[in-house]
Structure 1
Amino acid sequence: MGVHQYTYVFAIGTIFSLLDAFNNGANDVANAWATSVSSRSVSYRMAMVLATIFEILGACTVGSRTAETIKDGIITVEAFKGNSGVQMLAFTCAVAAASSWVMWCTRNSTHVSSTYSLISAVAGVGVATAGASKVQWGWHEGSGLGAIFAGLGMAPAIAGCFGAIIFSLIKVIVHMRANPLPWAVWTSPFWFLVAATICTLSIVFKGSPNLDLDKKAGWYVASVSVGTGGGVCILSAIFFVPFLYMRVIKKDYNVKWYMAIMGPILFFRPAPPNAEQATVPDYAVVQEDQEHISSPQLSGEVKVEDNGNIAITEIQSTQSTYQKLMAEGEQRFHAKLRQSKGPLGWAMCVLHNNPIGAGEIYEFHNMAIIIKRIPATIVAGALYGMHYDIHAAQTGVSGTPEGARMQRVYSHAKKYPNEVEYGYSFIQIITACTASFAHGANDVGNAVGPWAAIYSSWKTADVTAAEAPVPVWQLAVVAITICAGFILYGYNIMKVMGNKITYHSPSRGCSMEMGAALTVLIFSHYSLPVSTSMCITGATVGVGLCNGTFKAVNFQRVALLLTAWILTIPIAGTLGGCLMGLVLNAPHFL
């Protein structure tokens, strides 16, 4: 393969690697933050800001470890027989197959693991390139397919156990008390201690290659992690507890968030005489929202009986009626966006007022309309996700089968007072950021691993260069692309996650996120790629079961997730292997 061919393959591989990173953000990051947004602990836009910060931090500090497994732990370097061009083709085909599959699933709101999609595609490419014997099927010191796919079953189960244990502690310490509000206030520093320790542990214990933190002794790791967590615990006791006490116990509606800097002085602040209700958000999941949801329109014959009762006969709820009901909900949401001020409102009005006319797309009037729609389409594509109503979409449209199913699930989950849940919303922000950091540390290897191998082969024409450390600039570029995927397209996955599985609240949400973060950190420490989505899903199910009944979990949604995860392995592997076989054996004249 000549120099020009190397450049072409490198360019194509770069495009598909970044596309895979974009899909990773739209799929996995959206699922990780769905818990916080579903619990109403953080707004969707604030989640975008925090996710961007901590994804980049996690990727740039500790992300390269997992990348080493992806780029040279599945296919041996000897399998390419010193041909760097074949190595570039292999990883390019792998990311092309994986990104195409994940993009199709995301477009159809089907959540799959981008981690296992890429791993399966790399394995398929390895079979097509050098045969099944050159693929590391076994454990291979923790970096083979056997070790990686073991996480498919272990990770959700472990995360579920962690999440259930943490939430059970919260229930015993706070929720099961006769008067849980004081317990929620005075025990909040302990949960800040736990969350801050996990966050610090993810940085120090896993180690940063640039700071050599991974070479520190065990006592150093333990002391720094617990010391930092203890410091945050003390700060929360000094500044957060007085603020929370005034807000939820004294019900002082004049206390603002920035007054927390006053610390214990707030204890001596007199509450307003008319303070009867604590000014905290309502964390209840709203099943019906009249601004976005319409009632079902059923066809049938209405008959008034002699006693004045109304009898409806021959009612038929057809599939067309269901589709019409869902379309009406979307139209109501779009109508609200068109009324808003700003670029998105303008874009939605332009798209609504300039529909494609009759005839084929190449008709002159349609071509003129398309030209007029292009700027609005770009603006809408960039801003639509930031304004999407996640909560209305998660609960389901009233009158539909899924809306009724979610109502049954919510009815079996105990609702705790908003004043009690309020304190955990702040803790959940820390746990959400920890989960995002862990995701950046682990899942950034999905896209950067193949891209780093392609870049090394293109730069040095040496297959052994794939074993070199991943440059920090590549980690940063991929992390930024992941965040862009979450911001621009993450709503498509987030709307079917979170409350679609079980009832969410801040105390439940922080338990789920801490359980998932612990699991991801454990796997990432041993350089094992694991799906953050699987971990948060397992933790969600574990916390949902703490309600004491299987009916509190939507196992239909869980079954759909498991089916998609399992199907990803053969589909992505087959796509990658077939694509590599076609490209590698295509006729050429050089």
Structure 2
Amino acid sequence: MLTVACALIGSACWLTIATSIGLPVSTTHSIVGGTISAGIAAGGASGVIWGWNGVSQIIASWFITPVLARCIAAVVFIISKLLVLKVKSLERSIKNALLLVGFLVFATFSILTMLIVWEGSPNLHLDNLSGTETAVSIILTGAVACAVYLIFFYPYYRRKILDQDWTLKLVDILRGPVFYFKSTDNIPPMPEGHELTIDYYEGRRVEEETPRTEDEENKIADTVSSSSTDNILREAKDATVQETNLVKIEYSAEEKMTTRQYWWSLLKQGPKNGLC
């Protein structure tokens, strides 16, 4: 009990310090490190299971998980890109997107069920299930969740977005099956300024520039020309100042030389610097 308390205190202190200075830390990594350290302090290094059934498996998962997550994310993005983003027809693209959500619902609930079956509470006795029963429970749970989406949510959003039925409210999701058979001819015209969905890009778009008149173009050209001239004059002045400073530096260096050193340096420079 004391060992666990020390591990919790150590990980909590580290998380507090790291968070206060803005370090990207992981709670899982911290508690694992705290537990290992507390175990070593309590019973020595021999009291920690370093093999694959212990610490090694945890550390390996830290490297394997990002790679697998990257691969899965890449597959999902490619599918979304081909079925939704690359489709030229807007109507077809929206339909594909809504159907793709059903697939994602199936995958999400299946994965969550798998985690519950494998890592759930021992009181549920889920570890007594056979391999076939586990697979069936995982697929069945995902299928039920996907069916709920296709029966209630999919027809609701299809009618609201594609058919632009602005009269629908969130509670109308319960009427989802009806929308498969309900005609769209009786949808009233949408009022001006009404938005079907929330515009999350509002205030973040770059406003399109209005076409400039000929006078405005001439003013801009004159401004650019004058600014370019000013820049050229300024650069020439800066170059002159730099040359003057360079000459001063050379003169100051030459003043420190003896006569013999000065003439010897001129001989080394050659005729390009005005010796001959």
The two structures share one fold, judged by TM-score above 0.5:
yes
Alignment-mate amino acid for residue 221 of structure 1: T
User: Match for residue 166 of structure 2?
Assistant: 253
Cα deviations by residue, 1:58-99 (Å, 9 ceiling, x for unpaired):
xxxxxxxxxxxxxxxxxxxxxxxxxxxxxx443333222211
Q: SS where residue 122 of structure 2 aligns?
A: coil
1:93/1:125 contact within 8 Å kept: yes
Match of 2:60 among 146, 150, 163: 150
2:84/2:96 contact within 8 Å kept: yes
5+ long unaligned stretches in structure 1 = 1-87, 289-303, 314-590
Change (3 A) 1:246 1:155: same
Percent identical = 29
1:239/1:262 contact within 8 Å kept: yes
How do residues 369-448 of structure 1 correspond to structure 2 at under 5 angstroms? none
Match of 2:144 among 220, 223, 231: 231
1:247/1:278 contact within 8 Å kept: no
Alignment-mate amino acid for residue 147 of structure 1: Q
> CA shift at 1:187, angstroms?
4.1
Q: SS where residue 164 of structure 2 aligns?
A: coil
TM-score (structure 1 length as normaliser): 0.32
> CA shift at 1:198, angstroms?
2.3
Q: Which of the two has higher C-alpha Rg?
A: 2
Cα deviations by residue, 1:316-342 (Å, 9 ceiling, x for unpaired):
xxxxxxxxxxxxxxxxxxxxxxxxxxx
> CA shift at 1:306, angstroms?
10
**C-alpha separation in 2, matches of 1:113 and 1:286:** 34
Q: SS where residue 151 of structure 2 aligns?
A: helix
> CA shift at 1:113, angstroms?
1.1
User: Match for residue 12 of structure 2?
Assistant: 99
**C-alpha separation in 2, matches of 1:106 and 1:244:** 41
User: Match for residue 117 of structure 1?
Assistant: 30
User: Match for residue 292 of structure 1?
Assistant: none
User: Match for residue 272 of structure 1?
Assistant: 188
**C-alpha separation in 2, matches of 1:191 and 1:134:** 43
> CA shift at 1:307, angstroms?
4.3
> CA shift at 1:228, angstroms?
2.4
The answer on 1:176 being equivalent to 2:86 is yes
The answer on 1:221 being equivalent to 2:134 is yes
Q: SS where residue 262 of structure 1 aligns?
A: helix
Change (3 A) 1:193 1:274: same
2:166/2:190 contact within 8 Å kept: no
Change (3 A) 1:126 1:208: closer
Q: SS where residue 134 of structure 2 aligns?
A: helix
**C-alpha separation in 2, matches of 1:245 and 1:170:** 18
1:173/1:183 contact within 8 Å kept: yes
Higher RCO (CA < 8 A, seq sep 6+): 1
**C-alpha separation in 1, matches of 2:135 and 2:203:** 43
Q: SS where residue 23 of structure 2 aligns?
A: coil
**C-alpha separation in 1, matches of 2:18 and 2:40:** 25
**C-alpha separation in 2, matches of 1:221 and 1:131:** 39
How do residues 25-44 of structure 1 correspond to structure 2 at under 5 angstroms? none
Q: SS where residue 268 of structure 1 aligns?
A: coil
Change (3 A) 1:201 1:106: same
Report the number of matched residues.
Answer: 207
Alignment-mate amino acid for residue 237 of structure 1: L
1:246/1:252 contact within 8 Å kept: yes
**C-alpha separation in 2, matches of 1:231 and 1:222:** 14
> CA shift at 1:162, angstroms?
1.8
Alignment-mate amino acid for residue 71 of structure 2: C
Q: SS where residue 124 of structure 2 aligns?
A: coil
**C-alpha separation in 1, matches of 2:38 and 2:61:** 21
User: Match for residue 159 of structure 1?
Assistant: 69
TM-score (structure 2 length as normaliser): 0.63
**C-alpha separation in 2, matches of 1:205 and 1:138:** 21
5+ long unaligned stretches in structure 2 = 206-222, 235-276
User: Match for residue 347 of structure 1?
Assistant: none
Change (3 A) 1:221 1:284: farther
> CA shift at 1:286, angstroms?
6.6
Larger mean CA deviation between 147-156 and 265-274 belongs to 265-274
Change (3 A) 1:147 1:194: closer
Aligned-pair Cα RMSD in Å: 3.2
1:94/1:121 contact within 8 Å kept: yes
> CA shift at 1:122, angstroms?
2.5
> CA shift at 1:154, angstroms?
1.2
Change (3 A) 1:134 1:263: closer
**C-alpha separation in 2, matches of 1:148 and 1:286:** 45
The answer on 1:281 being equivalent to 2:198 is yes
2:106/2:146 contact within 8 Å kept: yes
> CA shift at 1:193, angstroms?
2.2
> CA shift at 1:308, angstroms?
8.0
